[in-house]
A and B are shown apart, each in its own frame.
Chain A
């Protein structure tokens, strides 16, 4: 790739630059900053869309009474049960159980606190889901 061919396209880098290796006029490699590339943006958006879809689905399930708020907050943190288990020290099986609305509603304060700590949100936030279509990832 030549220096002049290093893409400079608007992207998810939000004004940051990525270091690329490209050839200068003498055919020597130099570092060239790139503000982004359409290709990177497409594949990055694909990954983030997927996260968003998971949040939308989790929120709908919570509202329909099919899942506990834990499902929604996990999705916002891009976590699955295995990862939340690694962060909280609570077994995957128990997490699956607590993803049901009933068992979750009966959780003692101490367990709520542990989940909240692992998810880096407040225990109050964890108890419910926000009003409206809050689908933004954390």
Chain B
């Protein structure tokens, strides 16, 4: 990247306050540095950076998204470690599986984002634990028709979300 690149200027001008802002949110300077980098990576993916009228507001919006997805990943990992803590010690995943399992959980979470809780529950029982509709209906106390409706809703939700994600958009 040449010095004349608009993102380079943006980086030099705005890195310090953005890093300071993220550090206050996170309480850790190294983590804040990582997420500041992530924010500028998102800027690189966007178009028409040179014409920004409100660079601070723009960067703040991107940083908030970076922060939000960071918190969400952290929550998921935390909940996952809690669930594992309830299992015998030797059932922790191997170091090789650890990263892949985390990634798989995060990608399922992105697909299911915005889906009502019961439909999410029904979907996970069916796809993750191979429970039949009848077993799910008995386990959560709803009718078979409700389980089927929730399953369709969940798959439709994931499908439409994947179509949206495939569409190009102005802001990454």
On whether the two chains bind one another, the answer is: no
